[in-house]
Amino acid sequence: MSERTKYLLGEEQIPTHWINLTPELPGEPLPPLSPRTGEPAGPEDLGAIFPPGLIAQEVSAEPEVEIPDAVREAYGLWRPTPLYRARRLEAALGTPAKIFYKYEGVSPAGSHKPNTAVPQAYENAQAGIERLATETGAGQWGSALAFACGLFRLGCEVWMVGSSYDQKPYRRSMMQTWGATVHRSPSDRTQSGRDQAAHTTGSLGIAISEAVEVAAQDPACNYALGSVLNHVLLHQTVIGQEAILQMELAEEEPDVIVACVGGGSNFGGLCFPYLRRVREGRSSARFVAAEPAACPTLTRGAYRYDYGDTAGLTPMMPMYTLGHDFVPPPVHAGGLRYHGDSPMVSALVKAGAVEARAYGQNDTFAAAVQFARTEGIIPAPEPAHAIRAVIDEAIAAREAGEARTILFGLCGHGNFDLAAYDAYLGGRLEDTEFSQADMEAALARLPEAPAIA
């Protein structure tokens, strides 16, 4: 029998609570600010688009939040997800490093996004809401919410970023199969969309504005966000909690933990439980956040208060930002094309607890192809950024002649992203240049808000 490659848990080991890192963040707490008054946001700023259960989770200072039984039951459709040892990749790299990955592509939607879509749909159903409106970048979040809305008999309306709408037609088919209505963003259905009609490729910020606008005008409709906010990252911590148990099965403790970052939910899901272990002195792991060089929020953005959407309908949040009306180039990692980042992840990067790295498209796809040819799974373009960082870490370990245990999040498969692979394999994939001038112009249009150190 060959050496063990996968580490599995039983359904009874699905976590019973989510990990809330909010009370442990470095520095003074920085509240979100109302887009209407510029003062700290109150319930009235959230109650128009979120149900009471999610608002309570968003502002909770409890270290753990109990997972409702109905949510844990739904999680059992795919959780716990497997942990793999990437032995074939290790051999191909000739590295002494041990590489492990937590694979979220086994969910019905093929990514980590149902971990938060299910509790969001549940809380809205409990509040008597009839339908949800949302945005989606590459389609993972939209398909996850469509799936979750089906579980709790809610309608679902999705604004899909234009470039991804064109590049990934089968993501649209997934959403529609689960009963969702999908619009190309920017659309002519909202004032936010009409105002941004010149930006034909769209952006997550524009799509968020369209969905928020619709939700705010209909008492029977709420908004659902797939990343960035505290409650979203909270829900994702089932990933890291399972990974801790699985790494114990492997009798290993990670030296470095890597995940891609767009808005931060995938990163927070894997890393937040381990960050708590570091704080408690039970781990010495370091953390790497991998993002696209075409949308380098954490590596080149400004740490400021900014809106979460393009039209300025959402509260202002303290985060690394490229400017709320900055429109990133249409890279294939549509889930990472966001102008800002989670305030929680941003605070950790600002404090030096997390290292951020940016990678170009061709470098990430080269890593993804090497991973697929050794491990068999074709990764989505988003976690390909993490794989690039992992390969760099493994090569550094080889050159230093040192053992190193690496854990990374493979947050979804790329089976619906083959047009991007076709472009890479055909030599047609571009390394789109990031526009410093466009970012500086967008930063000059940031809203008036208190300066943050």
Question: Secondary structure of the chain in the HEC alphabet?
Answer: CCCCCEECCCHHHCCCEEECCHHHCCCCCCCCECCCCCCECCHHHHCCCCCHHHHHHHHCCCCEEECCHHHHHHHCCCCCCCEEECHHHHHHHCCCCEEEEEECCCCCCCECCHHHHHHHHHHHHHCCCCEEEEEECCCHHHHHHHHHHHHCCCEEEEEEEHHHHHHCHHHHHHHHHCCCEEEEECCCCCHHHHHCCCCCCCCHHHHHHHHHHHHHCCCCEEECCCCCCHHHHHHHCHHHHHHHHHHHHCCCCCCEEEEECCCCHHHHHHHHHHHHHHHCCCCCCEEEEEEECCCCHHHHCEEEEEECCCCCCCCEEEEEECCCCCCCCCCCCHHHCCCCCCHHHHHHHHCCCCEEEEECHHHHHHHHHHHHHHHCCCECHHHHHHHHHHHHHHHHHHHHCCCCEEEEEECEECCCCHHHHHHHHCCCCCCCCCCHHHHHHHHCCCCCCCCCC
Residue corresponding to tokens 């409709």 = 221
Pairing mode of beta strands 64-66, 17-19: antiparallel
Cα–Cα dist 416/334, whole Å: 12
How is residue 19 written in tokens? 């990990």
Share of the chain above pLDDT 90, in %: 79
pLDDT at 1: 54
Neighbour count for residue 170 (Cβ, 10 Å): 15
Cα pseudo-dihedral 230, 236, 237, 238, rounded to 10: 150
Tens of pLDDT along the chain (453 residues)?
Answer: 578 999 999 999 999 999 999 999 988 888 999 888 888 987 778 888 999 999 999 999 999 999 999 999 999 999 999 999 999 999 999 999 999 999 999 999 999 999 999 999 999 999 999 999 999 988 899 999 999 999 999 999 999 999 889 988 999 999 999 999 999 999 999 999 999 999 998 988 899 899 999 999 999 999 999 999 999 999 999 999 999 999 999 999 999 999 999 999 999 999 999 999 999 999 999 999 999 999 999 999 999 999 988 888 888 999 999 999 888 777 766 667 788 999 999 999 999 999 999 999 999 999 999 999 999 999 999 999 999 999 999 999 999 999 999 999 999 999 998 989 999 999 999 888 788 888 899 889 888 888 886
pLDDT at 57: 96
How is residue 360 written in tokens? 């170009």
> What's the predicted TM-score (pTM) here?
0.95
Task: List the one residue out of 225, 221, 231 whose CA is nearest residue 209.
Answer: 225
- Report CA 404 to chain centroid distance, whole Å: 26
Cα–Cα dist 279/423, whole Å: 43
pLDDT at 26: 87
Q: What digits encode the pLDDT tens for the residues 47-101?
A: 889 999 999 999 999 999 999 999 999 999 999 999 999 999 999 999 999 999 9
Residue corresponding to tokens 């909202």 = 190
Cα–Cα dist 79/295, whole Å: 32
